[in-house]
């Protein structure tokens, strides 16, 4: 039993995923508020947009860590989300600042529904990966 | 489909509270001006006021503090004070940061308006001098000291209103109707209420009061909209007025607690007080922390009263009883002779069980209700006609002889009579399918086409203190509600049972009592209310107009400046507004020029700001000036402006900075910014590059750059929208100017967009004429400021997407900085829950705006449609024109977000899918041809026409700006205009016959037959008129009869017809006369004078004429017959 780099990666990923779970929950709440008319779309976009890149960067960061630790399976599991993030950010509306959400289109029912669904899916993904990292960490610690 | 995702927004939004709205950065009107009266009024605590207030006068001793005052009316008295102390001071304080302001601005109060309306009849307008009002305020400031907000908010308006009562009655086209409906009695009532409540008004005043029922609405005048129940107390007194006024108790001051007693039946006053605030408060207290905890909802949602912080369901039973209260005894009450006051005091403890009972009666079941509503008649002939299968491939002449009529909904005649005009409100399906599944099966879009601010010739205007609305969903009372009995009405949108306020029992039209169903609100589906201060976030803004003019070399070359200045000079007096109207001018090239027009200067003073990176306003006060005071200077400026820049060599254009300056100038007030731009902005923020590749203009692959290049203009528009500024864009450019980016400034600020490609004062005379006429209309048309529009619909339906120029504030609320009578909106709907419970679906659009005269008004349109469960009925009720317009809007969204070819495919698929659905689901047989129900027989034709529009066509050379402009028009024009654009009307005009002619005002308007848009219908021997909405083409065949050419055109023969003929001469012969009456008749149906082009057979202008012949084949598009075959082929796949 030894504390390897891979184990460190898993631990880090575990912590960061916990943070990502909070991001996802925040995201879901925010869109729910929009839907129930509690919030002004402009305000809501202003609060959501700065959070988009940090979330993506955190995810990229531990993907890179797994790459360095040559944890191929874990990396492979994260690739779809990584690809999705890249695609999502490439196809964002014309904006001068960072972020994804445009207050003029966000109230469109389709987009609202999409964003909500996205939030739930991500939450599910992060939760599953949280437990996977936990397992991975223990496995690495025990096996090495 | 994701339609279901939007579930229950109607219900959802009625959840309590609006936390967080107030903090909006760019959006709220800014915290200061937002501190309106509205917000508190809507929330629980606000309601305490009306009742506690009289209570104060009647029961309690003046020195008592407010919380205690409310005690008598609050059974749960222990709670009430807590609430009060906790809430009120801060609440009102915060939300009325400028009470002084509201005092100062004259005439903004509705009460004022109401009072003024009928001065001769009003004892008060004469008898109540400003001093008395002042007295009220003084007197009250004592006992109410801890609620400074109150005084400002409630008394302020009164005080103000009495002074500047010279405001004219807003005279709209509807003036006649308005006059009729303006309820003078009720307006008196409002004043009476004031005086009563205050208890300071001399008795003499009361004596003069007409002893009519009209006065009864007094109570609710201050009451919250919807807080209907507050009525009874003052109202009752009113009834008693028949008695000699000398007996009037109100002469006393507040401490005169015994005063009113003699006047009042026992037990009533308490019950009133009970019900109103405390009940609500209980609810708040006990169950929902939401509404009590929510911060001040000082935003437009709460203004228009989008949702009402409803106590949760559990609570409703608790809160409900009081609603029932007042009424059961009400009737006896005012029949009763007055009892002594002393009796009344204790009685509040035992409020009337009868009320309870009545209320707790089981509601009629849904089916009973539907029956009661009695909407549906039998299967009508229309229905059958709509379903008649038409074989499109064989039917050559599918156009009706005259204009295509909108389908009549299959309602009982009573409902049909009161239903909203199809020009204002149209639904794509006049039979609403019961479920989303049924809708999906029909493959037709469900949506509304709205033209809410249309110029109307007849519009009932209602000046009423209480605007009766459903307590839950805030729906305005309308012809489609059902009256369960005299005292209760059932909301047709959410099915809540509401009380009929007393004021509503009086009918101002017939001057009779007890006929709530005959009130104008219930007799007309389009009404306008004069709103009270509850509907204001700040005092209504004045009309403010800022003109931002491009004066670069390019602009001067086009010569538009001359025409603009001329036109504005001519119309300066016709600009909608009142004495507060303000104007300002900004010109720009590479620098920004401001004009100081302050009254007192000898001539306009030009101030140049060359620092375009950080624009500042040189003198904040004197740039936007009062038009009345500075009229001479404004005229002076307009006369000199064109000459000032004739020799300019500046070619750059700093549009972005100029707009930022305009924003800074306007943000304190809001208003309208009119931007005239002639080229691509090249300097400073918001500069744009040319993105168009001329070689790609006729590409069939796809069109790039339909979206904006930068979000600068969008952000600016959102900021503007937040400050109630609308930006209207006039683009007069001969080169590419990236309209896709520039248009954003108008799109999201609810402005309008005008585009004049290749505008030149000498080279393009027809366009010049059009510009002049558009300007004339633009400057003089009606305008509404700081508007919001909310669309409500029957529970189960929800709004999916909006189309038009606005900013969507929430799921059903549009924020419109300005609203103009020429803009239309489209709404896509989805069905969240089955509508099986109901037989009628209703839609209500409420537009709350400030008129140019500084009045807050609400225009309400209600549309009622039957619900059906059969697929065949859905098809039978399809409104093909509305469907086409909605599809066009959807296709344009698709083109921008995805690609043009996607959008085109989607359009074709819409036809294919719906016809397939019809074939499989309804007709049952498999005919060889291509059949469509008669209601949809024009569907393929219209879709083909859409595909050939500039906005959506491919293969034909189209400039990018032209295309984008066409898209903007589709999104923002009303249905009629879009339909004329898509499928122009073609008539033969050289052989008018008397057959079917209209006889109007002693002149005969010939009604030639509508021709199909194909060259086949044209003959060289004829002359044809094509009506494309804003353009008319008169095509004169080569061998057209000399008689026609001579008599109508005034030319000896065909060859002598001039190239650029744009007018029909006034000739004195029957031929010419008939032609001109026909043209006039066409013109009357639209708000502006269209441009007429006389097209000779051989002229180059004929290209634009022939491109409108949509049934013909072009090099890149199908002919109509080919298109049908294509559809048939797709269907058989």
pLDDT bracket for residue B396 (50, 70, 90): confident
Kindly tell me if the per-residue pLDDT of B607 is higher than 80: yes
Q: Is B704 on the interface with A (CB under 8 A)?
A: no
In this structure, what DSSP letter does residue B337 have?
P
A95 contacts on B by Cβ (under 8 Å): 711
In this structure, what DSSP letter does residue B813 have?
E
A96 contacts on B by Cβ (under 8 Å): 710-712, 715
Q: Which of the residues B293, B749, B801, B806 would you substitute to probe the A interface, choosing the one with the greatest number of A C-beta atoms within 10 Å?
A: B801
- Minimum distance, in Å, between the CA of residue A77 and any CA atom of chain B: 28
Query: Residue B20 and residue A43: Cβ atoms within 8 Å?
Result: yes
Query: Residue B25 and residue A42: Cβ atoms within 8 Å?
Result: yes
Nearest residue on chain B to A117, alpha-carbon basis:
B5
The segment with the largest mean pLDDT, out of B173-177, B227-231, B493-497, B987-991, is: B493-497
Mean pLDDT of all residues in B481-499: 89
Summarised one tens digit per residue, pLDDT across range B470-480 is: 999 999 999 99
Query: Residue B799 and residue A109: Cβ atoms within 8 Å?
Result: yes
For chain A, percent of residues with pLDDT exceeding 70: 98
pLDDT at B390: 83
Residue with the bigger pLDDT between B55 and B811: it is B811
B446 contacts on A by Cβ (under 8 Å): none
Torsion of CA B755, B758, B762, B767, to 10 degrees: -40
Nearest to A95 among B5, B711, B809 (CB): B711
Kindly tell me if the per-residue pLDDT of B1017 is higher than 80: yes
pLDDT bracket for residue B923 (50, 70, 90): low
pLDDT bracket for residue A97 (50, 70, 90): confident
Touching A: B residues 274-333, CB under 8 Å: 299, 301, 306-307
Query: Alpha helix (H) ranges present in B973-1101?
Result: 975-982, 1042-1044, 1070-1084
C-alpha count within 13 angstroms, C-beta hemisphere, residue B553: 6
Kindly tell me if the per-residue pLDDT of B500 is higher than 60: yes
Kindly tell me if the per-residue pLDDT of B640 is higher than 60: yes
Kindly tell me if the per-residue pLDDT of B705 is higher than 60: yes
Range name among B420-424, B724-728, B1002-1006 with the lowest pLDDT average: B1002-1006
Task: Work out the burial of residue B719: count CB atoms within 10 Å of its CB; fewer than 13 is exposed, 13-18 middle, 19 or more buried.
Answer: buried
pLDDT at B947: 93
Bridge pairing between strands B447-450 and B825-831: antiparallel
Summarised one tens digit per residue, pLDDT across range B837-855 is: 888 999 999 999 999 999 9
Kindly tell me if the per-residue pLDDT of B372 is higher than 70: no
B714 contacts on A by Cβ (under 8 Å): 102, 104
Number of helices (H), then strands (E), belonging to chain A: the values are 4, 0
Q: Which of the residues A30, A107, A116 would you substitute to probe the B interface, choosing the one with the greatest number of B C-beta atoms within 10 Å?
A: A107
Query: Residue A116 and residue B5: Cβ atoms within 8 Å?
Result: yes
Kindly tell me if the per-residue pLDDT of B312 is higher than 80: no
A98 contacts on B by Cβ (under 8 Å): none
Distance CA(B92)–CA(B82), nearest Å, equals 16
B809 contacts on A by Cβ (under 8 Å): 40-41, 107
In this structure, what DSSP letter does residue B1086 have?
S
Summarised one tens digit per residue, pLDDT across range B108-153 is: 333 333 333 333 333 333 333 333 333 343 444 333 334 433 333 3
3-state secondary structure at position B991: coil
Summarised one tens digit per residue, pLDDT across range B585-602 is: 999 999 999 999 988 888
pLDDT bracket for residue B177 (50, 70, 90): very low
- pTM here is 0.73
Nearest to B811 among A35, A42, A96 (CB): A35
Q: Which residues, in sequence order, are CB contacts of B649 under 8 Å at separation 6+?
A: B553
Summarised one tens digit per residue, pLDDT across range B821-833 is: 999 999 999 999 9
Range name among B349-363, B469-483, B921-935 with the lowest pLDDT average: B349-363
Mean pLDDT of all residues in B932-959: 90
Distance CA(B643)–CA(B976), nearest Å, equals 41
B802 contacts on A by Cβ (under 8 Å): 107
Nearest residue on chain A to B8, alpha-carbon basis:
A36
Strand order across the beta sheet in which B497-499 lies: B482-483, B488-490, B497-499
Residue among B560, B457, B1006, B987 nearest B774 (CA): B560
Query: Residue A104 and residue B813: Cβ atoms within 8 Å?
Result: no
pLDDT at B1006: 82
Kindly tell me if the per-residue pLDDT of B197 is higher than 70: no
Summarised one tens digit per residue, pLDDT across range B66-83 is: 333 333 333 333 333 333
- Minimum distance, in Å, between the CA of residue B454 and any CA atom of chain A: 25
In this structure, what DSSP letter does residue B667 have?
T
Residue among B144, B247, B126, B122 nearest B197 (CA): B144
Touching A: B residues 712-731, CB under 8 Å: 712, 714-715, 718, 722
Q: Is B813 on the interface with A (CB under 8 A)?
A: yes
pLDDT at B570: 94
A43 contacts on B by Cβ (under 8 Å): 20, 23-25, 27
pLDDT at B381: 57
- Minimum distance, in Å, between the CA of residue B793 and any CA atom of chain A: 16
Nearest to A109 among B5, B306, B708 (CB): B5
Query: Alpha helix (H) ranges present in B59-199?
Result: 66-70, 79-95, 99-104, 110-117, 123-127, 130-141, 148-150, 156-162, 175-181, 184-198
3-state secondary structure at position B1089: coil
Distance CA(B912)–CA(B891), nearest Å, equals 15
Distance CA(A128)–CA(A132), nearest Å, equals 6
pLDDT at B410: 85
- The DSSP-derived string for A19-71 is HHHHHHHHHHHHHHHHHTT-S-HHHHHHHHHHHHHHHHHHHHHHHHHHHHTT-
Cβ-Cβ contacts under 8 Å between A and B: the total is: 101
Kindly tell me if the per-residue pLDDT of B565 is higher than 90: yes
pLDDT at B924: 65
Q: Which of the residues B717, B808, B894, B971 would you substitute to probe the A interface, choosing the one with the greatest number of A C-beta atoms within 10 Å?
A: B808
Query: Residue B3 and residue A109: Cβ atoms within 8 Å?
Result: yes
Contact (Cβ atoms closer than 8 angstroms) between residue A71 and residue A8 = no
Kindly tell me if the per-residue pLDDT of B863 is higher than 80: yes
Mean pLDDT of all residues in B481-492: 88
Give all strands (DSSP E) within B912-980, no chain letters.
Answer: 931-933
Query: Residue B13 and residue A36: Cβ atoms within 8 Å?
Result: yes
User: What are the sequence ranges of the domains in chain A?
Assistant: 5-143
> How far apart are the two ends of chain B, measured CA to CA in Å?
23
Kindly tell me if the per-residue pLDDT of B349 is higher than 50: no
pLDDT bracket for residue B1099 (50, 70, 90): low
Kindly tell me if the per-residue pLDDT of B375 is higher than 60: no
* Alpha-carbon torsion (B128, B130, B132, B134), positive or negative: positive
Query: Residue B18 and residue A46: Cβ atoms within 8 Å?
Result: no
pLDDT bracket for residue B749 (50, 70, 90): very high
For chain B, percent of residues with pLDDT exceeding 70: 65
3-state secondary structure at position B735: coil
Q: Which of the residues A30, A34, A38, A112 would you substitute to probe the B interface, choosing the one with the greatest number of B C-beta atoms within 10 Å?
A: A38
Q: Is B708 on the interface with A (CB under 8 A)?
A: yes
- Minimum distance, in Å, between the CA of residue A91 and any CA atom of chain B: 10
Kindly tell me if the per-residue pLDDT of B322 is higher than 60: no
pLDDT bracket for residue B199 (50, 70, 90): very low
Cross-strand bridge partners of residue B595: B606
pLDDT bracket for residue B360 (50, 70, 90): very low
Residue with the bigger pLDDT between B547 and B532: it is B547
The overall average pLDDT reported for chain B is 71
Mean pLDDT of all residues in B708-715: 92
Distance CA(B638)–CA(B633), nearest Å, equals 9
Nearest to B718 among A103, A107, A110 (CB): A103
Kindly tell me if the per-residue pLDDT of B742 is higher than 60: yes
pLDDT at B827: 94
Report the phi/psi class of residue B879: left, alpha or beta, with left for phi > 0 and alpha for psi in -120 to 50.
beta
Q: Is B23 on the interface with A (CB under 8 A)?
A: yes
The segment with the largest mean pLDDT, out of B283-287, B391-395, B906-910, is: B906-910
Tally Cβ neighbours within 10 Å of residue A96. 10
pLDDT bracket for residue A35 (50, 70, 90): confident
Nearest to B808 among A39, A41, A94 (CB): A41
Distance CA(B695)–CA(B836), nearest Å, equals 55
3-state secondary structure at position B947: helix
- The DSSP-derived string for B246-308 is GG-GGGS-TT-TTGGGGGS-TTHHHHHHHHHHHHHHHHHHHT-HHHHHSPP--SHHHHHT---
pLDDT bracket for residue B1070 (50, 70, 90): confident
As a whole number of Å, the CA-based R_g of chain A is 17
A121 contacts on B by Cβ (under 8 Å): none
Mean pLDDT of all residues in B390-404: 82
Distance CA(B891)–CA(A70), nearest Å, equals 48
Summarised one tens digit per residue, pLDDT across range B86-120 is: 333 333 343 343 433 433 333 333 333 333 333 33
Nearest to B24 among A43, A108, A112 (CB): A43
Distance CA(B233)–CA(B1046), nearest Å, equals 77
Mean pLDDT of all residues in B756-768: 86
Range name among B246-250, B402-406, B684-688, B808-812 with the lowest pLDDT average: B246-250
A94 contacts on B by Cβ (under 8 Å): 707-711
Kindly tell me if the per-residue pLDDT of B498 is higher than 80: yes
3-state secondary structure at position B687: coil
Give, in order, the Cα–Cα distances in Å from B341 to each of B51, B52, B59, B327: 17, 17, 10, 20
Kindly tell me if the per-residue pLDDT of B1022 is higher than 70: yes
Nearest to A40 among B15, B21, B708 (CB): B21
pLDDT at B600: 84
Summarised one tens digit per residue, pLDDT across range B3-34 is: 333 333 333 333 333 333 333 333 333 333 33
pLDDT bracket for residue A51 (50, 70, 90): very high
pLDDT at B383: 60
Distance CA(B229)–CA(B488), nearest Å, equals 11
Tally Cβ neighbours within 10 Å of residue B905. 14
H or E stretch including A13?
helix A5-35
Kindly tell me if the per-residue pLDDT of B710 is higher than 70: yes
3-state secondary structure at position B1011: strand
Residue with the bigger pLDDT between A81 and B1006: it is A81
pLDDT at B928: 65
The segment with the largest mean pLDDT, out of B339-343, B395-399, B642-646, is: B642-646
Nearest residue on chain B to A44, alpha-carbon basis:
B24
B27 contacts on A by Cβ (under 8 Å): 40, 42-43
Bridge pairing between strands B592-596 and B582-588: antiparallel
Q: Which of the residues B1, B810, B830 would you substitute to probe the A interface, choosing the one with the greatest number of A C-beta atoms within 10 Å?
A: B810
Query: Residue A94 and residue B6: Cβ atoms within 8 Å?
Result: no
């Amino acid at each position: 039993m030894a504390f390897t780099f891979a184990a460190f990666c898993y631990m880090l990923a575990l912590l960061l995923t916990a943070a990502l779970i909070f991001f996802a929950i925040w995201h879901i709440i925010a869109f729910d508020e929009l839907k129930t008319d509690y919030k002004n779309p402009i305000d809501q976009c202003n609060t959501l947009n700065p959070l988009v890149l940090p979330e993506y960067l955190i995810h990229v960061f531990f993907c890179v860590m797994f790459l360095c630790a040559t944890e191929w399976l874990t990396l492979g599991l994260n690739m779809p989300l990584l690809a999705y993030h890249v695609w999502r950010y490439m196809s964002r509306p014309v904006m001068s600042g960072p972020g994804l959400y445009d207050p003029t289109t966000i109230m469109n029912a389709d987009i609202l529904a999409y964003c909500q669904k996205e939030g739930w899916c991500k939450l599910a993904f992060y939760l599953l990966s949280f437990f996977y990292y936990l397992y991975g960490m223990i496995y690495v610690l025990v096996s090495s | 489909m994701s339609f279901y995702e939007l579930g229950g927004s109607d219900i959802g939004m009625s959840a309590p509270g609006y936390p967080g709205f107030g903090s909006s950065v760019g959006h709220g009107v800014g915290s200061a001006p937002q501190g309106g009266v509205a917000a508190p009024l809507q929330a629980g605590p606000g309601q305490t006021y009306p009742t506690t207030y009289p209570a104060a006068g009647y029961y309690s001793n003046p020195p008592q503090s407010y919380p205690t005052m409310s005690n008598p009316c609050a059974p749960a008295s222990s709670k009430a004070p807590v609430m009060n102390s906790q809430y009120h001071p801060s609440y009102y304080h915060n939300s009325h940061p400028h009470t002084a302001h509201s005092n100062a601005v004259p005439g903004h109060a509705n009460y004022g308006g109401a009072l003024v309306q009928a001065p001769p009849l009003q004892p008060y307008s004469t008898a109540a001098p400003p001093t008395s009002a002042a007295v009220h305020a003084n007197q009250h400031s004592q006992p109410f000291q801890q609620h400074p907000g109150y005084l400002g908010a409630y008394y302020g308006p009164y005080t103000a209103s009495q002074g500047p009562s010279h405001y004219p009655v807003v005279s709209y086209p509807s003036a006649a109707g308005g006059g009729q409906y303006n309820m003078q009695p009720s307006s008196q009532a409002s004043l009476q209420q004031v005086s009563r409540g205050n208890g300071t008004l001399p008795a003499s005043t009361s004596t003069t009061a007409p002893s009519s029922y009209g006065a009864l609405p007094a109570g609710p005048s201050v009451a919250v909209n919807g807080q209907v129940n507050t009525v009874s107390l003052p109202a009752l007194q009113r009834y008693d007025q028949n008695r000699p006024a000398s007996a009037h108790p109100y002469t006393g001051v507040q401490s005169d607690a015994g005063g009113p007693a003699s006047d009042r039946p026992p037990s009533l006053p308490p019950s009133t007080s009970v019900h109103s605030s405390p009940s609500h408060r209980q609810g708040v207290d006990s169950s929902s922390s939401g509404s009590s905890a929510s911060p001040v909802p000082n935003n437009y949602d709460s203004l228009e009263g989008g949702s009402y912080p409803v106590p949760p369901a559990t609570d409703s039973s608790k809160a409900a009883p009081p609603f029932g209260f007042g009424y059961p005894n009400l009737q006896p009450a005012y029949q009763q002779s007055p009892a002594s006051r002393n009796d009344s005091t204790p009685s509040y403890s035992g409020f009337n069980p009868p009320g309870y009972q009545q209320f707790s009666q089981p509601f009629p079941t849904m089916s009973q209700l539907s029956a009661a509503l009695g909407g549906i008649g039998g299967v009508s002939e229309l229905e059958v006609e709509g379903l008649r299968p038409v074989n499109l491939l064989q039917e050559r002449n599918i156009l009706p002889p005259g204009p295509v009529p909108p389908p009549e909904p299959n309602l009982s005649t009573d409902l049909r009579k009161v239903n909203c005009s199809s020009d204002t409100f149209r639904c794509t399906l006049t039979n609403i399918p019961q479920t989303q599944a049924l809708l999906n099966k029909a493959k037709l879009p469900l949506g509304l086409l709205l033209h809410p601010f249309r110029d109307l010739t007849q519009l009932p205007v209602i000046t009423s203190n209480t605007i009766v609305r459903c307590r839950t969903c805030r729906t305005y009372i309308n012809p489609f509600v059902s009256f369960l009995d005299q005292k209760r009405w059932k909301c047709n949108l959410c099915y809540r049972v509401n009380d009929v306020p007393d004021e509503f029992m009086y009918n101002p039209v017939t001057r009779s009592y007890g006929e709530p169903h005959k009130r104008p609100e219930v007799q007309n589906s389009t009404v306008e209310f004069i709103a009270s201060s509850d509907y204001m976030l700040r005092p209504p803004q004045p009309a403010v107009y800022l003109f931002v003019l491009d004066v670069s070399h390019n602009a001067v070359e086009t010569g538009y400046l001359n025409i603009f200045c001329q036109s504005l000079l001519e119309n300066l007096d016709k600009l909608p507004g009142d004495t507060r109207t303000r104007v300002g001018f900004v010109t720009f090239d590479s620098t920004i020029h401001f004009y100081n027009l302050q009254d007192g200067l000898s001539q306009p003073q030009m101030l140049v700001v060359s620092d375009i990176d950080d624009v500042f306003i040189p003198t904040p006060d004197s740039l936007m000036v009062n038009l009345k005071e500075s009229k001479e200077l404004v005229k002076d400026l307009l006369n000199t402006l064109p000459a000032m820049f004739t020799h300019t060599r500046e070619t750059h254009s700093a549009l972005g900075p100029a707009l930022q300056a305009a924003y800074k100038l306007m943000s304190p007030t809001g208003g309208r910014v009119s931007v005239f731009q002639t080229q691509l902005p090249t300097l400073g923020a918001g500069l744009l590059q040319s993105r168009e590749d001329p070689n790609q203009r006729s590409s069939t692959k796809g069109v790039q750059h339909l979206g904006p290049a930068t979000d600068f203009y969008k952000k600016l528009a959102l900021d503007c929208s937040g400050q109630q500024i609308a930006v209207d864009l006039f683009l007069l450019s001969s080169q590419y100017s990236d309209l896709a980016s520039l248009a954003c400034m108008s799109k999201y600020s609810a402005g309008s967009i005008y585009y004049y490609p290749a505008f030149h004062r000498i080279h393009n005379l027809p366009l010049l004429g059009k510009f002049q006429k558009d300007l004339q209309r633009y400057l003089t048309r009606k305008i509404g400021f700081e508007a919001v529009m909310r669309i409500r619909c029957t529970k189960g339906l929800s709004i999916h997407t909006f189309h038009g120029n606005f900013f969507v504030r929430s799921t059903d609320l549009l924020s419109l900085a300005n609203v103009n009578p020429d803009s239309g909106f489209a709404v896509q709907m989805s069905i969240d829950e089955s509508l099986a419970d109901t037989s009628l679906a209703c839609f209500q659009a409420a537009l709350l705006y400030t008129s140019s005269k500084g009045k807050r008004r609400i225009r309400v349109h209600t549309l009622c449609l039957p619900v059906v469960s059969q697929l065949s009925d859905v098809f039978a009720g399809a409104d093909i024109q509305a469907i086409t317009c909605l599809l066009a809007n959807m296709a344009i969204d698709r083109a921008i977000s995805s690609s043009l070819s996607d959008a085109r495919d989607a359009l074709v698929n819409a036809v294919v899918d719906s016809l397939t659905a019809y074939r499989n689901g309804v007709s049952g047989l498999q005919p060889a041809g291509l059949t469509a129900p008669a209601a949809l027989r024009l569907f393929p034709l219209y879709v083909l026409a859409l595909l050939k529009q500039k906005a959506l066509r491919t293969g034909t050379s189209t400039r990018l700006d032209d295309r984008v402009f066409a898209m903007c028009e589709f999104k923002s024009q009303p249905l009629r205009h879009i339909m004329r654009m898509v499928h122009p009307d073609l008539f033969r005009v050289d052989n008018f016959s008397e057959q079917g002619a209209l006889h109007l005002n002693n002149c005969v308007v010939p009604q030639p037959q509508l021709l199909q848009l194909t060259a086949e219908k044209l003959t060289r021997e004829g002359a044809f008129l094509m009506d494309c909405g804003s353009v008319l083409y008169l095509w004169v065949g080569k061998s057209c009869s000399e008689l026609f050419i001579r008599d109508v055109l005034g030319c000896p023969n065909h060859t002598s017809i001039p190239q650029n003929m744009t007018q029909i001469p006034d000739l004195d012969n029957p031929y010419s006369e008939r032609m001109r009456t026909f043209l006039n008749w066409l013109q009357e149906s639209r708000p502006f004078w269209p441009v007429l082009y006389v097209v000779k057979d051989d002229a180059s202008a004929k290209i634009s004429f022939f491109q409108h012949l949509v049934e013909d084949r072009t090099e890149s598009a199908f002919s109509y017959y080919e298109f049908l075959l294509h559809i048939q082929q797709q269907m058989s796949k």
